[in-house]
């Protein structure tokens, strides 16, 4: 156990707190778009941490994770928009969204309990697509999701009279909408991180790890693997649901195309690239993989202009190319992820140490 009150860790915490406080204003100098990207990075931290419970802790490969994000997003969209004329308050919708996602987590989990590895991946992948296709087609005969057009004019997060959308004055400071969302997201993210760390080092967390390591041995020591696996799905899904709700409120608009397979793969890539099962690594993975493509988007055109004087390759395709290459390189030279847990790096340590030389 770390001593949180030692001067050294207190300074560390203070520095991180200050950095988190001023970050949106520093990033915002490059335009509000960057603050939005920052907010997305934090949303992805949510998602990656949620998926990390399923993939990293319990070792269940889930390729349809974005479905829970979609469930959370649509729950918010339907309960707080003119679409049905409902305008629930935030303290009601977020738990409902989490609960809905949780229910879907169990729905997905229960028939797939006996599957492992590749087989589980295929089924979860199918599940993710089913949810997206449902959202796309549930506009007739009864219009529930408004189909591919999506749902617009979704309420922002509101606490009392205070809205997180639009610019407002707080203590004499002018704060833009994205900046306010940033602080909300950071607060929620810290909460999620604390919950994750506590779960990992709990009786339940150990049971998840045990199942990941050896399911038969886990059964033999009395772990009810069915329930504990379902719990992993449910917990992971709930985090996804909460992230989805905030996403919906922040954007004011949702449509099925936000929840495509590539998003699931992206979140999984964050977990694997950062360091499966290691919370700081997963956070790093999420932040990097959100910023890297965006940074490349801005860099690709100027760099080509400077080098060749004209644009040779379409920025969008080159961006994904460079991104893919980066992924391959990381997996080649750091197979346990960029910031793996001490145990994982010991496990794969010899290989990556040699590769670095």
Which residues form the interface with another protein (CB under 8 A)?
A: 195, 198-199, 202-207, 209-210, 213-214, 216-225, 231, 235, 343-344, 346-347
The contacts of residue 32 (CB under 8 Å, 6+ apart) are 176, 178
Distance CA 343, CA 58 (A): 16
Distance CA 76, CA 66 (A): 15
**CB of 159 vs another protein, minimal distance in Å:** 23
Judged by beta carbon, residue 256 or residue 281, the one nearer another protein is 281
Positions of E strands within the chain: 80-81, 86-87, 158-159, 162-163, 168-170, 173-175
HSE, side-chain direction, 13 A CA sphere, residue 294: 16
**CB of 122 vs another protein, minimal distance in Å:** 26
**CB of 279 vs another protein, minimal distance in Å:** 14
Judged by beta carbon, residue 223 or residue 254, the one nearer another protein is 223
Give the gyration radius of the chain's Cα atoms: 21
**CB of 326 vs another protein, minimal distance in Å:** 27
The contacts of residue 222 (CB under 8 Å, 6+ apart) are none
**CB of 217 vs another protein, minimal distance in Å:** 4
172 close to 255: Cβ distance less than 8 angstroms: no
Burial of 173 (0-12, 13-18, 19+ CB in 10 A): exposed
Judged by beta carbon, residue 150 or residue 277, the one nearer another protein is 277
**CB of 93 vs another protein, minimal distance in Å:** 21
Judged by beta carbon, residue 234 or residue 267, the one nearer another protein is 234
**CB of 60 vs another protein, minimal distance in Å:** 16
**CB of 247 vs another protein, minimal distance in Å:** 23
Distance CA 100, CA 118 (A): 27
Judged by beta carbon, residue 193 or residue 265, the one nearer another protein is 193
The string of DSSP codes covering 201-268 is TSHHHHHHHHHHH-HHHHHHTT--HHHHHHHHHHHHHHHHHHHHHHHHHHHS-B-GGGG-HHHHHHHH
Judged by beta carbon, residue 142 or residue 220, the one nearer another protein is 220
Distance CA 271, CA 341 (A): 12
Judged by beta carbon, residue 295 or residue 348, the one nearer another protein is 348
Judged by beta carbon, residue 221 or residue 312, the one nearer another protein is 221
Distance CA 330, CA 347 (A): 17
């Amino acid at each position: 156990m770390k001593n949180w009150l030692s001067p050294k860790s207190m300074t560390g915490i203070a520095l991180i707190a200050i950095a988190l406080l001023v970050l949106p204003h520093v990033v915002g100098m490059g335009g509000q778009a960057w603050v939005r990207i920052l907010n997305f990075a934090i949303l992805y931290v949510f998602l990656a941490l949620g998926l990390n419970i399923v993939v990293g802790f319990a070792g269940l490969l889930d390729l349809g994770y974005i479905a829970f994000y979609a469930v959370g997003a649509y729950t918010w969209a339907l309960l707080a928009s003119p679409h049905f004329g409902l305008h629930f308050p935030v303290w009601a919708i977020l738990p409902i969204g989490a609960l809905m996602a949780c229910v879907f987590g169990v729905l997905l989990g229960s028939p797939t309990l006996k599957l492992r590895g590749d087989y589980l991946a295929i089924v979860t992948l199918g599940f993710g697509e089913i949810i997206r296709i449902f959202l796309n087609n549930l506009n007739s005969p009864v219009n529930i999701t408004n189909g591919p057009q999506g749902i617009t004019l979704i309420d922002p997060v509101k606490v009392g009279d205070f809205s997180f959308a639009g610019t407002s004055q707080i203590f004499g400071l002018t704060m833009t909408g994205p900046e306010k969302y940033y602080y909300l997201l950071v607060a929620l993210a810290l909460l999620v991180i604390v919950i994750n760390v506590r779960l990992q080092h709990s009786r339940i967390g150990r049971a998840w790890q045990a199942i990941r390591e050896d399911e038969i041995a886990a059964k033999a020591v009395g772990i009810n693997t069915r329930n504990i696996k379902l719990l992993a799905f449910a917990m992971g899904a709930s985090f996804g649901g909460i992230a989805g709700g905030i996403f919906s409120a922040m954007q004011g608009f949702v449509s099925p195309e936000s929840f495509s397979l590539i998003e699931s793969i992206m979140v999984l890539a964050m977990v694997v690239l950062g360091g499966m099962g290691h919370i700081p690594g997963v956070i790093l993975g999420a932040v990097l993989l959100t910023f890297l493509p965006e940074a490349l988007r801005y860099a690709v055109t100027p760099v080509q202009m400077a080098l060749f004087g004209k644009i040779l390759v379409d920025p969008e395709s080159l961006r994904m190319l460079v991104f893919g290459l980066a992924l391959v390189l990381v997996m080649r030279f750091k197979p346990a992820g960029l910031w793996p847990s001490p145990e994982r790096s010991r496990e794969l340590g010899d290989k990556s140490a040699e590769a670095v030389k």
